[in-house]
Structure formats: C-alpha cells, structure tokens
Structure 1
C-alpha cells in the first residue's frame, strides 16, 4: 500500500501479495508484518515521479511507503537532512541526495554494498558511481543526472555564416560578430552569451567548466591535493571576465539558471550555458525561439577538451533506518533500468544508466538524449567527495573569488593564488 501521510511504522499485510500472506495466517501460519518506509525525495519534477515509483514498489512488496516533502531549495534541504541525521533520527529511511552531498553526509549513510547484490552498479556512468563512493563505501545510487551544455540559435549561426564554436575563443569571436550585427539590425537588447554569474553554487559549476576545459584541473584532485593555482586556471577566469559587458550583460553577475534561460528564450541571446532541462522549455509553446535552438558540448580552451560539470540526484539509505534492507530494496527499485526509463519517458529526466541513451523509445521521446551522452561520459564531478564536510567552504571560496574576477576586483592570477592558499588551509584541517 502507498501512504502519503504519516501513519504507524508497521501493519498487517493487506491486499495483493499481502492478501495471500494474510490468508496463510488464517490457515495457521504466523501473520506477516509489513513495514512502512519513509522516503524524502524532494520536490519539483523529480518528486512528481517519486510517488509513482514508490507506489509500484509498495504494490509489489506489500509494504507501504510514506513520501516526505522537503524544502525546494537545496541549501534548506541539506540543512534539514543534517538536522535529522545529526540527531540520529529514524524518521526517514531513504533520502534523495544532491550530487555534492555524499562526501558531506557519508558517515550517516549505510554502505549499499552490504545490501545490494554484487554488480548492482554495472551499467551506470562510472563517474557517478565514483562520486557516490566514500572511502570505499557506496553511500548512494545514481538516480538521474545533469551536465552543463551549450545552447545556441541555429537560425542566427546560419544567417550570419558561423558554425558552432568548439573553443571558448571561437565562442567569444562569434558572439561579438553576431551581437554587433543583430544590434545593428535593431535589437539593442541582444547579447552574445549568457551564463550563471551570481556568487552561488551555479557559478562554481560554470567556473569549474572553464578551468577544467583549459587544462587547469578541478580545484582539488582525487588525492586531496589543491591544484587551482596554475596559469591555465588563471587564463580561464580572465577570459570569462572579458565577456562581462562585452558579450554578456553586466546583470549576469546576479543571474542564476532561470534568469539566463529567460534571456535566451525571449530571443535576446545567441549562446546560453545551462542544464538539459532547458531543451524542452526553449522548444515549448511559450518560447520565442522554439524550433530554432541547437545543443552542443561546451567549448574548451586552447590546451584542453570540453568539460561539463555533473549535476543530478541520488538515493541513499540513512544509517539510522530501522529497516535498512527494505530501504535499500526501494532504492534499487527506483534506480533500476525499468524505472529510469519510465522517468525519462514521463518526466524527461536524464538516466544514469548508459544503455538508456541508445534506447529507441527514450530517444524518440527526447532526441537530445543522444547528444547528451558524450557530454555525460566526459563530465566533471565537483570535488565534493574528496573534500567531504569541507566542500561547502571549498565551493564558497571558489565562487567568491571567481565573482571578484568577473566583477573586475581581481585578476585571474591573483584569484587562483589567493584561492590556492585558502584551500590549502582548509585541507590542513582535514577533508
């Protein structure tokens, strides 16, 4: 059975499989107690599917599931989890986890290797499995994923005789040329490139892509060594700063995903960096650019290759769950190939199982999935697992220094030098 509201943590099995078990009890066999599993699976698009999958699991197993609503904002959601887990509460069995949380919350989560069959992670993107493995413990299973992408106006590139840029320098030059031409034609609000420049986690994602695609590393490497203080990283930040007020509006310094989507979708930008969710919206009925949008991997620096920051959500089991085996079974069910395919078809979410990017039904429902596959295979995880509890401070330091460069308060070399020292101090405290 499926329960959307609090109720007792166990009950006699009834209906479906439960009816057969209860019938056995009538014949003299002992009654079988079914348990209730509570899952916190967020809100928004993904949460709309979570109750559906949970209901199916409940119907198949005879147990019940309580879906617990959590705050919309990731910061507020994390705070709630930290409060619950810090108090060793058993109220929540399964938690929906942001990709950067396993290292921060791993000590409060069970090792799923102890509950799932051998080979349970086969077929998943290796980078996502690695991200969810903390000190050799698999603390979460990948559910759906995201990666940064470049959206572009196909019609304008064709009109002005330009191709999709492969390097950041090509993007800069193409954006300058087409922006000038469109403004001369009368669109004074037109910009060449828009991205998320506010001092928040979204800027960490953008800046990590700039730096990694220039061959400047990923802030902190897999061994926990700080790598950000290098000339390629500095050059990447300086190039990004040159966009502000030139091909990117100064307002980008306070823009998040939705502001940038709005600029692009209203027809006032040539290029946009954003997540895969934009594809369906930019081609929807309310979009001024429907049918004119293309999608490609992000550009790269002169000595690098395209890199996209990985996003997405995972499912984990609390160490304080009273029913870890059942909770792990629910996690395995929701993240199974069958359920991920249904999630992709019904909600347009991006699977974490590689073979689904060649699935005919999935591709028919969203042709962009095939283009997304290569981006995901080369995706860059944020250094959250290796830095653990310190990741929030690492990211905060990175996006604040980057924001200073974009604002003209620091140059790239000074920023990476200062950032390197900050991260070294954090590292010495242990991560």
Structure 2
C-alpha cells in the first residue's frame, strides 16, 4: 500500500527543490487560460518557477472556449513548431495529440507520479505512455441556493425530477414576491462540448449509457436516454430561460451569481467565484453531486481534468518538464486548491488548511468517484466529430426541432458511419 504521507512529502519537496539548471537559461512557452482566476494562477506560478530556476516563461493565452485550442495545437504540432513547449490539455485531447507528446514516465520520479489519483493518470496515459501530468480534476456539480431551500423548507434534490419540481416551486414563489428575474435552473445549453457533458450527465444518470461505451459500441439510441433528454427539454422556458440554449459555463455562472437562479450545473471553479468577498451569494451557496435520473443509478457528473503535456518539438524538453513538475506538484496544487481548483494529489484532500477554507472538497470527492467519462478513449482521434454529432443532436431536441427519439436515432446512425471509417 502506498504511504500517502510520504508520497505527499516527496511531491512537495519536488515542487520546491529540484528545478535548478545550469548557467544556460531557457525560455519556455506555456499555454494558459485566457482570463480570470485561472489565468492569474497560471501566470503567477510560472513567474515563481522562473524566479526559482533563472529561466523565463512566455505565456500564450488560449481561446476563451478551450475547445478552440485543440486545432491550434494540432497545427503547431503537425508543423513540429518549437513555439509550443508546455500545453494545457483537456483530458479528452490526449489521444488525439499522443504522437506529439513527450512520455513523462522516464522524466518524472515515480513517487511524484504515484501521488496523483489513478483516474487522472489513466486519462493521461496512452499505450502505457504517460503523456501529461494531472493538474486539476473536475466533474459536473450541482450548485444551489441553500438560503432559498431553507426559506421554503425544501431538501436538496437527489433526482432530476425533484430538482425540476423544487426549481419551479421556488422560482414561482420568488417571482410572486417581486423577484421577476428569478429562474429555477441554469446550465450549459449552447451547441458545444459543454452540452455534450450536460447531456452525458442526464443520460448516464438515467441508465441510458454514455452514447458510445468503453468498447466502442454505440449505445445512444435507447428509451432511458430519450426520457432524460425529454425531461431536459421540458425545462426550457419553464425553469430555464430560453437563453440557456446559448449559455456556456460563464453564461450560467453570470445568472446564478447575480442571484437569479435557484440551481446551477457547473464545474468546481464556480464555488470559489460564488464565495468571493464581493459576491452577493457569499455564504448562501451549497454544492453537491448532481442528481440521478432514476433510482439505483449513480450521480454521473461528467469527468474532466486539466493536464499539462510537453511537446516533442520543444527546444528544451528538460526545462519544459521542470515547469510541468512545478505546476503539478503538491505546493502549487495546494495553492490552486485554495482558489477552489480540486487537486489531483490524493493526500491534499486531508490537508487541514485546505479543508478549513474549502470543506466542499469532502462533498465533491464523491462526485469524482461517481463521475461518467466521455467516450474519448474509445473513439480516439474521432472524438471531436463524435462530440459534435452528440451536442448538435441534443441541441435540436432542446430547441424543439426534433423529438428525443428521432434525434437519438439520427445520432446513433451518424456514429455508426463514423465508426465504420475507423475511430
């Protein structure tokens, strides 16, 4: 059995002490998110590493929509550009970029690797090669106005139907009391990767599978999946605004954090923003695993992870790996955890300082355990096309263009055609 304490100490030591280089300073390019807390955390950590090592870091800002970064990466890597050293990666991209990423197994000490959750390492591993280091972990979560649930004597819903009913009840009561802009539930309804995540959560938690299973078999077209999408369609204009059909994560967060929604589906970062000193919701928000569609099913928050990989075409692979080790080490992951980014280092979930500020990590650890994965491993380099077919088809259901049954039949047929060409 791994001694988590000793692994944690080893990883923490690695974060602080082993990154010095010789007299030749290197400039390492690093792709960071384009704005907000995540950009600030990325920049300040890079500056700290540069100060410790005597190297410099060139920050490249990713597009606001992370999904738009993948084709940029693919173009840079296909041309073997040395302008991309360290890449911020979505866990679903590793398979598509695998030929261009450095195998970190021989470059990162085993004790540092072993400190991370196995699930996060699995997402970063292709053909037994560790192609990225886990940076933070995530899953779809349910945020709720605990003050409003208490006000109306309502429990935290555990099923999607309970959420539907509770959202409608509190929304109507608040509107009757003068809160005309109040809605029951906001989420990500735009036709993009975020909708694939939401749809996966509805369908998987209702016993409808994950559109494509781990073996690559297509499971999209089934009654449980249709029932889940039909329920989500019923929310539009009733407990969710019509505008939700164009919401991404920030769109939903904007409505929720101005006090205009009872429930919100989002990622863990929204806990930190909702509890900021200037937030009108500070102290009023609860967070828990997403509801289930039917009894006996798991809360199936879509699994996500931020990873850091190193390009094979970097001018200084060792310096790039050093930066990755620093950013994914225990010291930096703890700092990020204090801003509500859930760490991938298991021992940090029992760190007293973190839990004192962010006790919600105890709750979300269950959400991570029950999470559902998108079919990126099974579909490999075709995943983007698979996801596009899913989110476009689901958007047609939500916007009333197709019934759930018709759309799922078309999704399944299109996925079969993609599969025949070879995942």
Q: Secondary structure at the match of 2:40?
A: helix
Q: 2:294 matched to which residue of 1? A: 302
Q: Select the residue among 396, 402, 406 that pairs with 2:388.
A: 396
Cα distance, 1:256 vs structure 2: 1.8
Cα distance, 1:36 vs structure 2: 4.0
Q: 1:72 matched to which residue of 2? A: 63
Q: 2:195 matched to which residue of 1? A: 203
Cα distance, 1:312 vs structure 2: 3.6
Q: 2:29 matched to which residue of 1? A: 38
Cα distance, 1:203 vs structure 2: 0.9
Change beyond 3 A, Cα 1:38–1:259: closer
Change beyond 3 A, Cα 1:39–1:293: closer
Cα distance, 1:150 vs structure 2: 0.9
1:4-25: CA deviation from partner (whole Å, max 9, x where unpaired):
xxxxxxxxxxxx967xx7xxxx
Cα distance, 1:403 vs structure 2: 0.7
2:123 corresponds to 1:131: yes
2:369 corresponds to 1:377: yes
Rounded to whole Å, the distance in 2 between the matches of 1:184 and 1:43 is 40
Q: 2:333 matched to which residue of 1? A: 340
Change beyond 3 A, Cα 1:392–1:184: same
Q: 1:26 matched to which residue of 2? A: none
Q: 2:10 matched to which residue of 1? A: none
Quick check: 76-85 or 279-288, which moved more?
Answer: 279-288
Quick check: 367-376 or 148-157, which moved more?
Answer: 367-376
Change beyond 3 A, Cα 1:407–1:34: closer
Structure label with greater radius of gyration: 1
2:220 corresponds to 1:231: no
For the aligned residue pairs, the C-alpha RMSD in angstroms reads 2.2
Rounded to whole Å, the distance in 1 between the matches of 2:222 and 2:376 is 21
1:289-340: CA deviation from partner (whole Å, max 9, x where unpaired):
3322111111001141111112342110112224334433332232112221
Q: 1:290 matched to which residue of 2? A: 282
Rounded to whole Å, the distance in 2 between the matches of 1:412 and 1:39 is 42
Q: Secondary structure at the match of 1:113?
A: coil
Rounded to whole Å, the distance in 2 between the matches of 1:189 and 1:70 is 35
- The answer as to whether partners of 2:27 and 2:58 remain within 8 angstroms in 1 is no
Rounded to whole Å, the distance in 2 between the matches of 1:362 and 1:300 is 29
Q: 2:100 matched to which residue of 1? A: 108
- The answer as to whether partners of 1:197 and 1:403 remain within 8 angstroms in 2 is yes
Q: Secondary structure at the match of 1:166?
A: coil
Q: 1:12 matched to which residue of 2? A: none
1:209-265: CA deviation from partner (whole Å, max 9, x where unpaired):
111111211122222222222221111111111111221112211122222222222
Rounded to whole Å, the distance in 2 between the matches of 1:415 and 1:89 is 41
Q: TM-score, normalised by structure 1?
A: 0.86
Change beyond 3 A, Cα 1:327–1:271: same
2:170 corresponds to 1:170: no
- Give ranges in structure 1 of 5+ residues lacking alignment: 1-15, 22-31
Change beyond 3 A, Cα 1:34–1:300: same
- The answer as to whether partners of 1:132 and 1:385 remain within 8 angstroms in 2 is no
Q: Secondary structure at the match of 1:68?
A: strand
- The answer as to whether partners of 1:70 and 1:77 remain within 8 angstroms in 2 is no
- The answer as to whether partners of 1:39 and 1:65 remain within 8 angstroms in 2 is no
Rounded to whole Å, the distance in 2 between the matches of 1:46 and 1:281 is 11
Change beyond 3 A, Cα 1:193–1:54: closer
Q: 1:315 matched to which residue of 2? A: 308
Change beyond 3 A, Cα 1:138–1:177: same
- The answer as to whether partners of 2:95 and 2:377 remain within 8 angstroms in 1 is yes
Q: How many aligned positions are there?
A: 402
Cα distance, 1:107 vs structure 2: 1.4
Change beyond 3 A, Cα 1:285–1:48: closer
- Give ranges in structure 2 of 5+ residues lacking alignment: 1-18
Cα distance, 1:360 vs structure 2: 0.7
Q: Secondary structure at the match of 1:235?
A: helix
Q: Select the residue among 329, 347, 351 that pairs with 1:359.
A: 351
Rounded to whole Å, the distance in 1 between the matches of 2:59 and 2:69 is 12
